[in-house]
Structure 1
Amino acid sequence: MKELYNTNEAADEAVISLEGVAFGYDPEHPILHDITLSVPRGQWVSIVGPNGCGKSTLVKLLNALLPKSAGEIMISGQRLEEDTIGSIREGIGMVFQNPDNQFIGATVEEDILFGLEGQCLTYEEMDVRLKQYTEKLGISGLLSKHPGELSGGQKQRVAIASILAMKPGIVIFDEASSMLDEGSRNELLHILQGLRNEGYTILMITHDADEILASDRVLVLHGGSVAADLKPEELFLDHELLAKCHLREPYPWQLARELRRLGIEADVPASEKELIETLWPYNYSK
């Protein structure tokens, strides 16, 4: 297997590059048009926008799950063409909104090994990866479990372990947290931060403010094209753009804004902890 991820390569190398890319089932009414962007290796990018703006369509173009109508797509230096689809797909892992749709095996162990068997790895290598990634995701004790016995958060961890065990350099999360409770979302956020620290390139379609704020960069899709390409903090300061995306600020930001309205000095916090430290001097007991 050719691994697209290489820790020795320059961090700012463009691992994903699109030039004038378009897609549409009907050429007269394209869903996406003139998409031009690049993503450096190791960057965590949030993709946001209103429902139906083409977010899922965009990421499916990257490994030819959908065929582009026009333009050029480059993945780690390879032009996406008929004869490169196989090698490019080996380097891109996708975690979908509903992890139930990704289960193949009757147990967690079978599910993770399924992808490794498809790579024709040796039994020894498969065993090493099985142990490595189940420990990494905290699911070693679930190997004999049927997927139906797992919680939503556990299922998502299994789906992520199955993808990471195949060692892609790019991991795409298509609204992977939308069906999770708050605790499971926090777990997923922690996993994502770990992946970024390891140098993975992450694309995440999301509506979650905390996930967006944790990323390095935000691509805003609107009207079939890239409406904005900016930092998370810049997005949350642009209320017109937030309204277009049907997004709200992170809770600490909302609270800080309301406090300022009440005359309490509170800057936009970098974290919830920072907001608590700002409020602490106002705490008193009668």
Structure 2
Amino acid sequence: MREIFIEFRDVSFRYGEEQAWVLKNVSFNIYKDEWVAIIGHNGSGKSTIAKLMNGLLFPQKGEIRINGVPVTEESVWDIRKQVGMVFQNPDNQFVGTTVQDDVAFGMENRGVPREEMIKRIDEVLNAVKMQDYRLTEPHRLSGGQKQRVAIASVLAIKPEVLILDEATAMLDPKGRKEIMRTVSDIQDQNEISLITITHDLQEVTQAERVIVMNDGEVWDEATPREVFAKKDALRKIGLDVPFIAILADELKKNDLMITSEPLNHDELLEELWTLHSTM
């Protein structure tokens, strides 16, 4: 049985006493070494969830536990050692004059010995394929390179959870694909839980599980295939579905006996090849 790492227990949050509730009695679990995508329309509460996980915000109602420990003002610094977060704009996270200085910053704050710091800098820059830029000033990097450095800086503190809060939103399709391939490889190699908050449907299809938010509540919680099978319901709450899923539906309407819910080109091609072989 998988071990629960993050627990939201009837969590409600609003940004002021006169404001509407952004989250309303939200409950879910995230397990160790799991990849979960959190999706929803703008204002559905996705980014608020990320900030609550990292102790940047605290709920007015309910409880959040990280590895069994309630997130409070007293525990928040220990929580942040376990939960790393990468935001949409990496420029907001840079503090060092060079790439290696930036990666070292978080470790210095945690009192990591110098020899261990040097070792980790090498490891994480290799992991994100930025070892050749260690002496480069961060502002001279491209958008994709900046995001890689931001990820490396978080990985260097060895968190057990990595949250990407719209971390690929400012990148072009190629940059998004490269970042997600890197993150996927990192998760496989480091046994780290991964939470992606995103509008990118291709990112969502790569996750093990999807939590769909709508108006501050959990609307659905299932595998990507199960979620995207509810195409009409998703559209009603303002969400898109992958193009491949739409194409598969159109093929079904034209009497092609597609029996599965393909999520990517390879799955659709396999389905069509199998169909062709039986005709």
Fold-level match, TM-score > 0.5? yes
| Counterpart position of 1:243 | 235
The alpha-carbon deviation at position 111 of structure 1 amounts to: 0.8
The alpha-carbon deviation at position 266 of structure 1 amounts to: 3.8
| Counterpart position of 1:5 | none
Q: Which digits, 9 at most, give the CA deviation of each residue in 1:219-278, with x for residues without a partner?
A: 111121111111111111102332145332223222222233334444433531232345
* Range with greater deviation from structure 2 (172-181 or 20-29): 20-29
Q: State the distance in 2 between where 1:269 and 1:240 align.
A: 16
SS at the partner of 1:110? helix
- Asked whether 1:121 is paired with 2:112, we answer yes
| Counterpart position of 2:13 | 23
Q: Which amino acid aligns with 1:217?
A: R
Q: How many percent of aligned residue pairs carry the same amino acid? A: 39
| Counterpart position of 2:207 | 215
The alpha-carbon deviation at position 184 of structure 1 amounts to: 1.0
Q: Which amino acid aligns with 2:205?
A: L
Match of 1:53 among 17, 41, 44: 44
The alpha-carbon deviation at position 102 of structure 1 amounts to: 1.1
SS at the partner of 2:153? helix
1:244–1:159 Cα change, 3 Å: farther
| Counterpart position of 1:95 | 86
Match of 2:70 among 79, 90, 94: 79
Count of aligned positions: 273
RMSD (CA atoms) = 2.0
Q: Which amino acid aligns with 2:193?
A: T
| Counterpart position of 1:252 | 244
- Asked whether 1:274 is paired with 2:267, we answer yes
Q: TM-score, normalised by structure 2?
A: 0.91
SS at the partner of 1:161? helix
Match of 2:32 among 29, 41, 56: 41
1:251–1:81 Cα change, 3 Å: same
Q: Which amino acid aligns with 1:31?
A: V
The alpha-carbon deviation at position 51 of structure 1 amounts to: 0.2
The alpha-carbon deviation at position 136 of structure 1 amounts to: 0.9
Q: State the distance in 1 between where 2:231 and 2:193 align.
A: 28
The alpha-carbon deviation at position 150 of structure 1 amounts to: 1.2
1:113–1:235 Cα change, 3 Å: same
Q: Which digits, 9 at most, give the CA deviation of each residue in 1:35-59, with x for residues without a partner?
A: 1111111111111111011111111
> Contact between 1:49 and 1:55, CA under 8 Å: does it hold in 2?
yes
- Asked whether 1:136 is paired with 2:127, we answer yes
Q: State the distance in 2 between where 1:74 and 1:281 align.
A: 46
> Contact between 1:23 and 1:31, CA under 8 Å: does it hold in 2?
yes
Match of 2:182 among 181, 184, 191: 191
> Contact between 1:93 and 1:168, CA under 8 Å: does it hold in 2?
yes
> Contact between 1:209 and 1:247, CA under 8 Å: does it hold in 2?
no
Q: Which digits, 9 at most, give the CA deviation of each residue in 1:170-190, with x for residues without a partner?
A: 111101111111111111221
Q: Which amino acid aligns with 1:103?
A: F
Q: Which amino acid aligns with 1:274?
A: E
* Range with greater deviation from structure 2 (121-130 or 193-202): 193-202
1:145–1:244 Cα change, 3 Å: farther
SS at the partner of 1:247? coil
Q: State the distance in 2 between where 1:129 and 1:114 align.
A: 12
The alpha-carbon deviation at position 282 of structure 1 amounts to: 10
